[in-house]
C-alpha cells in the first residue's frame, strides 16, 4: 500500500500545485486590493451640517475561501473518480493488485489532499495579507473558522464523491452533484409557496435553503463573518443545518466504501441507473414542481401551459437519461405518475 500511496502522491502533485497557486494568488490579490475599514457618518441631533465620522469593520471577504473550498469539493471528485467511467481506464485500474475498496480509499485520500492542502495554504496566506492590512477585525476568529471549515469541507467532499460515483459517465456525475444542491430544498419550497396557515411564522420548513448540500458551508462562513466584524449573530436552526450535514457526510462516506466493491469495469460509459440519479430525480422534480404550481393563477390557459412545459421538460430529461427517443414503459409510468400526483396535490391545495 505504501507504493500505491507514493504513486498517488506523485499523480496528484501537478494539480495540487496548480490549485494551490491559483487559490493563493486570487485570495492574496483580493485581500491586498480590498479596503477593510468602512467610513460611516452620523448626524447627532439631526444636524446635517456637522456630520460625525466614524469607522467600522469592512468586508472580511470570507466568501473567497468559502468559494474556493466549495469549488474544490466539486472539481476534485471529477478528477479522482472518473477512472471507472471510461472503459480503457477502468480495465487498467481494476487490473491492479488492489481491491476495489483499497483503490477507493487511495483515491479518496488523494482527493482530500487535493481539497484541503490548497485550501489550507491559500487560507493562511490570505489571512496574513488581511492581518498586515489596516483593519478592525477580530483576527482570532479566523482560527476556529479554519478548523470548522476543514470539517465541513471533508463532509462536503464525501457527499459529492458519493453522488459523483453513482454515475457511469463524467457528464452524469456532474449533473448528479449539481442536482443534489437543489433537490433537498424542493419539499420546503412547496410548503413555502402554499403559505399554509397551520405553519407557524419563522418555522424550520419556511427555510428551504437550510437543506442544500452547500448549506453548512455557507452558514458557517456567514456566521463567522459576523464574529470577525464584531457583530456576532446567531445561526438559525444551527442544530439542523450542521446535524444534517454531518449525517449526510457520514452516510456518504459509508456508501462510498460500501458500494466500492460493486463497481464493475463493464459499467463504464453505460446508462447511469442509480437511485440517486435520473430515474428518481426526474419524477421527484416533476412531482414537486407540479405540486408547487397554482392552478388558480391568471386565466386557466396559463396554468395549462405551465403544466405542459413541466411535463415536456420531464420527457426531454428522460430522453437525455436513456440517450434515445425510445423510452421504457416504466419511464412513462414514472413520469405520468409523478405528474398526476403533483397535479392532484396542486388541485387539492387550491381547493383548501
288-308: per-residue pLDDT in tens? 999 888 776 644 456 778 888
Q: Final residue of a domain: which of 224, 245, 271? A: 271
Same domain, residue pair 229 and 285 = no
Q: Indicate the range of 28-32, 132-136, 260-264 predicted with least confidence.
A: 260-264
- Is 70 exceeded by the pLDDT of residue 201? no
Same domain, 250 and 289: no
How far, in Å, CA of 341 to CA of 167, rounded?
Answer: 28
Q: Do 252 and 161 meet the contact criterion of CB atoms below 8 Å apart?
A: yes
Q: Quickly list H helices, the chain.
A: 2-11, 13-32, 63-81, 87-94, 100-132, 142-164, 170-182, 186-194, 215-229, 238-258, 278-292, 301-322, 329-351
| CA–CA distances in Å: residue 272 to residues 47, 205, 317 | 68, 32, 13
- Lowest-pLDDT range, 14-18, 195-199, 285-289, 329-333? 195-199
Query: Do 93 and 70 share a structural domain?
Result: yes
Domains identified in the chain, total number: 2
Report, as an integer, the average pLDDT of 333-348.
91
For residues 80 and 152, membership in a common domain is answered with yes
Mean pLDDT for 245-249 is 94
- Whether the per-residue pLDDT at 63 is higher than 80: the answer is yes
Q: Which of 255, 271, 287 is the last residue of a domain?
A: 271
pLDDT of residue 299: 43
Whether the predicted pLDDT of 30 surpasses 90: yes
- All 3 cell numbers of residue 15? 494539480
Domain co-membership, 256 together with 121: yes
Residue 244 and residue 159 in contact, taking contact as beta carbons nearer than 8 Å: no
Indicate the range of 37-46, 218-227, 274-283, 316-325 predicted with least confidence: 37-46
Q: Are 327 and 278 in contact (CB under 8 A)?
A: no
Output phi, psi for 52, to 5 deg: -105, 120
Grid coordinates in use for 325?
Answer: 427517443
Same domain, 144 and 35: yes
% of residues, the chain, pLDDT over 90: 55
Task: Of 272, 270, 259, give the one whose Cα is nearest residue 86.
Answer: 270
Position 207 scores a pLDDT of 64
Task: Identify the residue with better confidence: 54 or 281.
Answer: 281
Q: 328: domain range?
A: 277-352
pLDDT value of residue 273: 87
* 140 CB-contact burial (10 Å; exposed 0-12 / middle 13-18 / buried 19+): exposed
Helix, coil or strand: residue 36 = strand
Which three cell numbers, joined as nine digits, stand for 96?
A: 491492479
In this structure, the answer to whether residues 221 and 163 fall within a common structural domain is: yes
Single out the residue of 140, 185, 137, 151 nearest to residue 69, CA to CA.
151
| Residue ending a domain, choose from 241, 271, 301 | 271
Task: Assess whether 166 and 230 both reside in one domain.
Answer: yes
Residues 303 and 262 reside in one and the same domain = no
Average pLDDT over residues 172-179: 95
Indicate if 97 and 240 belong to the same structural domain: yes
DSSP letter (8 states) at residue 28: H
More confident residue, 50 or 286: 286
Res 31 pLDDT > 60: yes
Average pLDDT taken over every residue of the chain: 88
Whether residues 265 and 320 share a domain: the answer is no
Residue-level pLDDT at 142: 96
Coil, helix or strand for 340? helix
Quick one: 225 and 324 in the same domain?
A: no
Amino acid at each position: 500500500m505504501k507504493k500505491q500511496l507514493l504513486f498517488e502522491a506523485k499523480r496528484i502533485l501537478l494539480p495540487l500545485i496548480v490549485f494551490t497557486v491559483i487559490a493563493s494568488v486570487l485570495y492574496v490579490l483580493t485581500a491586498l486590493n480590498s479596503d477593510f475599514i468602512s467610513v460611516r457618518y452620523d448626524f447627532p441631533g439631526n444636524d446635517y451640517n456637522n456630520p460625525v465620522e466614524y469607522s467600522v469593520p469592512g468586508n472580511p471577504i470570507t466568501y473567497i475561501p468559502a468559494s474556493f473550498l466549495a469549488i474544490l469539493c466539486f472539481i476534485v471528485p471529477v478528477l479522482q473518480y472518473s477512472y471507472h467511467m471510461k472503459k480503457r481506464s477502468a480495465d487498467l485500474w481494476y487490473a491492479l493488485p488492489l481491491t476495489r475498496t483499497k483503490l477507493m480509499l487511495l483515491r479518496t485520500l488523494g482527493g482530500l489532499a487535493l481539497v484541503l492542502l490548497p485550501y489550507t495554504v491559500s487560507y493562511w496566506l490570505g489571512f496574513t495579507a488581511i492581518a498586515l492590512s489596516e483593519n478592525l477585525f477580530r483576527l482570532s476568529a479566523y482560527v476556529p473558522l479554519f478548523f470548522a471549515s476543514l470539517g465541513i469541507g471533508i463532509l462536503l467532499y464525501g457527499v459529492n464523491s458519493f453522488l459523483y460515483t453513482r454515475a457511469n459517465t463524467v457528464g452524469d456525475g456532474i449533473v448528479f452533484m449539481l442536482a443534489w444542491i437543489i433537490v433537498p430544498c424542493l419539499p420546503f419550497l412547496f410548503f413555502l409557496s402554499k403559505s399554509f396557515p397551520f405553519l407557524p411564522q419563522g418555522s424550520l420548513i419556511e427555510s428551504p435553503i437550510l437543506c442544500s448540500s452547500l448549506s453548512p458551508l455557507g452558514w458557517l462562513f456567514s456566521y463567522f463573518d459576523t464574529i470577525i466584524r464584531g457583530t456576532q449573530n446567531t445561526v438559525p436552526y444551527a442544530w439542523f443545518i450542521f446535524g444534517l450535514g454531518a449525517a449526510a457526510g457520514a452516510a456518504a462516506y459509508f456508501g462510498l466504501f460500501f458500494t466500492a466493491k460493486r463497481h464493475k469495469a463493464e459499467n463504464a460509459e453505460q446508462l447511469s441507473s442509480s437511485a440517486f440519479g435520473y430515474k428518481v430525480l426526474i419524477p421527484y422534480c416533476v412531482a414537486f414542481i407540479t405540486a408547487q404550481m397554482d392552478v388558480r393563477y391568471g386565466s386557466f390557459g396559463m396554468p395549462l401551459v405551465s403544466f405542459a412545459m413541466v411535463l415536456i421538460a420531464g420527457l426531454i430529461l428522460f430522453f437525455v437519461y436513456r440517450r434515445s427517443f425510445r423510452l421504457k414503459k416504466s419511464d412513462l409510468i414514472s413520469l405520468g405518475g409523478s405528474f398526476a400526483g403533483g397535479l392532484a396535490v396542486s388541485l387539492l391545495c387550491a381547493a383548501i
